[in-house]
Amino acid sequence: MVDGPGCTLNGEKIRARVEKGQSVVELRGSAVSGTPPSSCYNALSSLTGCSYTGVQTLGKELFMYFGLKAIRVHFGMNGSIRLNQAVKKGQENSRPMPVAVLEVQLEKDLICFYESTVDVRNVSECQEKIRFLEELDVCSSKFSFSRAECEIKKQKARMLCDILLDQMILPGVGNIIKNEALFDSGLRSPSSPIHEEDEEVSAVSDGERPALLGSVSRDPSHTENVTATPEITSTHGGSRIQSPPEVHKEVSDALELKEEGTQEGTALGPDACSIGIDE
């Protein structure tokens, strides 16, 4: 699944490389030429001649604006974009190009979307949704830890692991971010906020942004408290995770216990190095 960081990067690429004010010359792709209900021909064809005015992202959604209308893109499991793609000389027949879901031909630029879902929406509705949820978007510069914590606490009857994946509560969070946030906070995945102390729920919301991969770096205030301790790392989803300070203490205690056990000939218990996470 293309989570919030991947979608945000796609939006940044379009924002940096596609000039505003260009008119739509042509729209192509399976979303235009396919048969209903997969075809959006009537809605998409109405964009021809409209000027491109900007792009925004919210969680896993990307919105391209054309006057009063917008193209909403969801990248699904493996969606991607290509800008101004060109086949290099001598490679014309080396590999067939994938069929684009949508190609937006502007006056100077070509934007192609692959393995995605697209539809046309009203700009005001898209912008209203963004204004309402941008403080909960883990990739947004306006992300609010306090509001995220408040929204999580409201969901008292639900499993915490399900709450974190709810796109109306924390847009952009996927399995990778969820797992790393829970790992960093030291909470078990099935825990429900109704059973957690306030500081533990805060630890989950504080751990969301440091868990972002690729485009979003670790929050300085989050790492400040752990840089003075020896690093104990684990690999999850191809990324490097640093354990909280209390984990280091428990591991150190376990190692001391192991040394004492070795000297005295006693056996080390199975839970001596559990690093503080319930099995």
Mode of pairing for the β-strands spanning 52-58 and 61-66: antiparallel
Over its C-alpha atoms, the chain yields an Rg (Å, rounded) of: 24
Residue 192 phi/psi, 5-degree rounding, is -110, 140
Cα torsion 18, 23, 29, 35: sign: positive
Mean pLDDT per 10-residue section of the chain, whose length is 279 residues: 92 97 94 68 89 97 97 95 75 70 96 95 96 96 94 88 92 91 75 60 63 42 38 40 49 53 44 37
Count the Cβ atoms, other than its own, within 10 Å of residue 130.
Answer: 19
| Amino acid 43: pLDDT | 86
Which CATH number describes the domain made up of 4-86+98-126? 3.20.190.10
Which candidate, 213, 199, 196, 195, places its Cα nearest to that of 244? 199
Residue 123 phi/psi, 5-degree rounding, is -60, -45
| Amino acid 75: pLDDT | 95
The alpha carbon of residue 187 and the mean position of all alpha carbons in its chain are separated, in whole angstroms, by 20
Q: Catalytic residue numbers?
A: 2
Query: Structure pTM?
Result: 0.69
Partners of residue 155 on adjacent β-strands: none
Place of tokens 């709810």: 166
CA distance 29 to 32: 5
Residue 28 phi/psi, 5-degree rounding, is -130, 175
Give the HSE-up count for residue 200: Cα atoms under 13 Å, Cβ half-sphere: 14
Mode of pairing for the β-strands spanning 110-114 and 102-106: antiparallel
Give the domain ranges of the chain: 4-86+98-126, 135-194+205-217
CATH of 135-194+205-217, one of 1.10.10.10, 3.55.40.20, 3.40.50.970, 1.10.8.50: 1.10.8.50
Crossing angle of helices 198-208/175-185, nearest 10°?
A: 140
Q: 59 and 167 in contact (C-beta within 8 Å)?
A: yes
